[in-house]
Amino acid sequence: MKKTLIAAAASLAALATALPAQAALNRGAKAPEVVTQGALAGKAFRFDLSQALKQGPVVLYFFPKAFTQGCTAEAHAFAEAAPDFRAAGAQVIGLSADDLPTLQRFSTEACRDAFAVASATPATIKAYDVAFSRDGKDTGLSDRTSYVIAPDGRIAMVHSDLDWREHVQRTLAAVRAMDVRPARKGG
């Protein structure tokens, strides 16, 4: 019992010193441009947000580090919901400061080939105000923040919380509220 209490206190202390900043980009703000290298199903590709928005809304979700417990669980949750996002007309892109080879593995192992992940450059992390700091110092990582970006390039929803469990639910609800499903062909 005593060890459990000590472990719980240590976990709380770690969280207190490693909290994400509140996302500065508000609903209605213009989303900063993102052009970077990404991976889908282990294959590298170039991601360009402005090009992606021509196909519909984009969920940009920032996560701290590939293959960590919370980030892997979040990737699994987004992978399970990928058909729902597609049905609602949106694409999901995970962004972290990880390098491309790491993201290529993560796109297959954690994302289950269901959606793309891409490298968030320091400039992108700064532009989206998602820098993760510990004891007031920048770690070079991003925090856990999800943005839903409308096809017009404006922020439709933002959710910033280190707890990964509500990111999928909230972003999917925001996309569905936009009702931009692709038109059916032939009729």
Q: Is residue 6 domain-resident? A: no
159 within some domain: yes
Q: Is residue 25 part of a domain?
A: no
List, in order, residues 6 or more apart from 36 with CB less than 8 Å away: 46, 47, 95, 118, 119, 120, 121, 124
The total of structural domains in the chain comes to 1
- Residue 170, in any domain of the structure: yes
Token digits of residue 37: 């290298």
Residue 20 lies in a domain: no
The domain that holds 64 is classified in CATH as 3.40.30.10
Closest CA to 174 of 60, 50, 40: 60
CA 10 – CA 16 distance, rounded (Å): 10
Beta strands in 31-75 (DSSP E): 35-40, 43-48, 58-62
38 SS3 class: strand
Helix (H) or strand (E) holding 84, with range, is helix 69-87
Q: What is the mean pLDDT of the chain?
A: 87
Average pLDDT for 67-80: 97
AA letter at 142: S
**Is 146 within a domain?**
yes
Query: Residue 123 above 60 pLDDT?
Result: yes
Distances (CA, A) of 82 to 50, 76, 172, 184: 21, 10, 10, 19
Asked if residue 45 is part of any domain, the answer here is yes
- Res 106 pLDDT > 50: yes
List of residues 6+ apart from 84 with CB closer than 8 A: 172
> Which structural domain, as residue segments, surrounds residue 167?
31-178
Q: What is the pLDDT of residue 179?
A: 75
Instruction: Determine, yes or no, domain membership for 24.
Output: no
Please, which pLDDT band fits residue 9 given cuts at 50, 70 and 90?
very low
Cα–Cα distances (Å) from 101 to 36, 127, 128, in that order, read 14, 24, 23
